[in-house]
Amino acid sequence: MNLNELTIKQAREGLDNGDFSSVDLTKACLKRITERNKDINAFITVTDKLALAEAKEADKKIKKGEISPLTGIPFSVKDAINAEDIRATGGGKILDNYIPSFESTVISNLRDAGAVLLGKTNCDAFGHGASNENSMYGPVKNPHDLERVAGGSSGGSAASVADHMCLFSIGEDTGGSVRQPASLCGVTGLRPSYGRNSRYGSMPMASSLDTVGPFAKTVEDVALLMEIMAGQDDRDATTVSDEVPIYSEEIKKSVKGMKVGVPKEYFELEGMEDETKEIVMKQIENLKSLGIELVDVSLPYTKYAIPVYYVVVPSEDSSNMGRLDGIRYGVQAEGKDLYDLYAKSRAQGFPEEVKRRIMIGTYALSAGYYDAYYKKAQRVRTLIIQDFEKVFESVDLLVTPTSPYPAFKIGEKKDDVLAMYLADVCTTPASIAGIPGLSIPVGNTKSGLPVGMQIMGPRLGESKVLQLGHNILISR
Ligand code: GLN
């Protein structure tokens, strides 16, 4: 096995035993990036010199026995999350030259724990998309089939882990951007509860839904990462003060006697493919052998998640995108007056989808339509939240497919906006409700494409979500 193929846990053991150094491990990842990134396009920026310098430092620390959980472990970060002094485009040309002077809390937590930064990963511009085709730096290709999408918007992060260019990655999930690409690329990805991890230093899209979450090769690794990432942050007032559980211990508990709900609506959603449904159903049936009780449940408001999402998100989005104006940050176009400068900077700096969201959001928030759209959507959002609260009175967790289908062909949905929006039909409900969702790989289609299963839990119920995910992966 090549060093870059190791899990975090395996690499930790190898580094601590002196079987290899962090420089060896980092070089193995950088070699893989050099070989594969030209085809996959997972990275926008590779920080190779910095990574090697950090790896050397890590080796010194390991020699001295000053070992933190991630000392010497190489990782990648979505380009919409800031690392100090490293270019962060967010996948949009309007920030092509942006170098943040500050670091996201989550990234500094991971780097303080010793992780080695390899670079910044490609993504749909500022999180807008489900296929990575809305990146202004070209689409990310799926490592399992280069003609197919990696998913989005954190596709570069998912592909970089799936293709073993790094040991883990950090992405952002507003409506599914960690879970959906994790599913399409065959890796594990967690959207934490809203408020569990700080969003300070990550580029905002829809502030009442945005979360920062990890991608890794195993649930065990995800659990470890969450221990380091999570917690209250004075710089993000939405973070909660609840103590961060020792997830890596929690996941070892037995799942015997757990009650897991199977919400029928998810299996009847628009576009749900039979093969995906069968693979996920087979895994669900297998849960019985772990001593789990399966319960048929209903979440009647599920079908309103996409309509609610596509009113609430563009509304918040239109205001968040307002700061990208060619003046305060990034690339400024030449303009004959102020209006012309704004118009040209944005026309050149944003892809179609971002412009579409700004227009929808501005319309939905306008005085004449606010009640009809935004307020109505917020009311239905409450009903979706109540749907989940009610169901979690009788079951511990819920299981569903993560995506209605495996990775689709590049170009297949690009010009059909609604079809692209429906790619997130299974992931938007948890986003709207602020609850955690984990995607784990549970099988492959006949043509070899990975299929993911989503595990959802009550708010701040990450421990149980990860516990079930871990028990499934080790029983497979
Ligand atoms: N695909 C969804 C969208 O375009 C989700 C994006 C996200 O989670 N950042 O809004």
Tell me, what DSSP letter sits at residue 19? S
Burial of 416 (0-12, 13-18, 19+ CB in 10 A): exposed
DSSP three-state, residue 337: coil
Instruction: Report which ligand 1 atom has the smallest distance to the Cα of 129.
Output: 4
**Cβ neighbours for 270, distance < 8 A, ≥ 6 positions apart:** 404, 422, 425
Q: In the chain, how many domains are there?
A: 1
Best mutation site among 135, 313, 355, 403 for ligand 1 pocket (most ligand atoms within 8 Å of CB): 313
Tokens encoding 125 = 């511009």
Give the model confidence (pLDDT) of 87-108 as tens digits: 999 999 999 999 999 999 999 9
Cβ(277)–Cβ(342) below 8 Å: no
Residue 66 lies in a domain: yes
Phi, psi of 97 (to 5 degrees): -110, 20
Amino acid, res. 48: D
Residue 116 lies in a domain: yes
Please work out whether the CB of residue 139 comes within 6 Å of at least one atom of ligand 1: no
78 is catalytic: yes
Please work out whether the CB of residue 21 comes within 6 Å of at least one atom of ligand 1: no
* Residue 31: pLDDT over 90: yes
Give the model confidence (pLDDT) of 113-124 as tens digits: 999 999 999 999
Residue 332 lies in a domain: no
For residue 2, the CA-to-ligand 1 centroid distance in Å is 34
Q: ∠ CA 68-72-76 to the nearest 5 degrees?
A: 110
Give the model confidence (pLDDT) of 282-310 as tens digits: 999 999 999 999 999 999 999 999 999 99
Partners of residue 384 on adjacent β-strands = none
Residue 367 lies in a domain: no
Share of the chain above pLDDT 70, in %: 100
- How confident is the prediction for the chain on average, in pLDDT? 97
Residue 311 lies in a domain: no
Residue 29 lies in a domain: yes
CATH code for the domain of 233: 3.90.1300.10
Give dist(CA 396, CA 74) in Å, integer.
35
Q: Which residue has the tokens 């305060």?
A: 328
Ligand 1: which residue has its CA nearest to atom 10? 128
* Residue 1: pLDDT over 90: no
Q: ∠ CA 281-420-129 to the nearest 5 degrees?
A: 105
**200: containing domain:** 3-250
Residue 464 lies in a domain: no
Best mutation site among 128, 135, 358 for ligand 1 pocket (most ligand atoms within 8 Å of CB): 128
pLDDT of residue 329: 84
153 is catalytic: yes
For residue 191, the CA-to-ligand 1 centroid distance in Å is 12
Residue 457 lies in a domain: no
Give dist(CA 265, CA 141) in Å, integer.
31
Ligand 1: which residue has its CA nearest to atom 4? 129
Give dist(CA 302, CA 319) in Å, integer.
27
Q: At what angle do helices 8-16 and 22-40 cross, to 10 degrees?
A: 150
* Residue 328: pLDDT over 90: no
User: 135: pLDDT confidence band, cut at 50, 70 and 90?
Assistant: very high
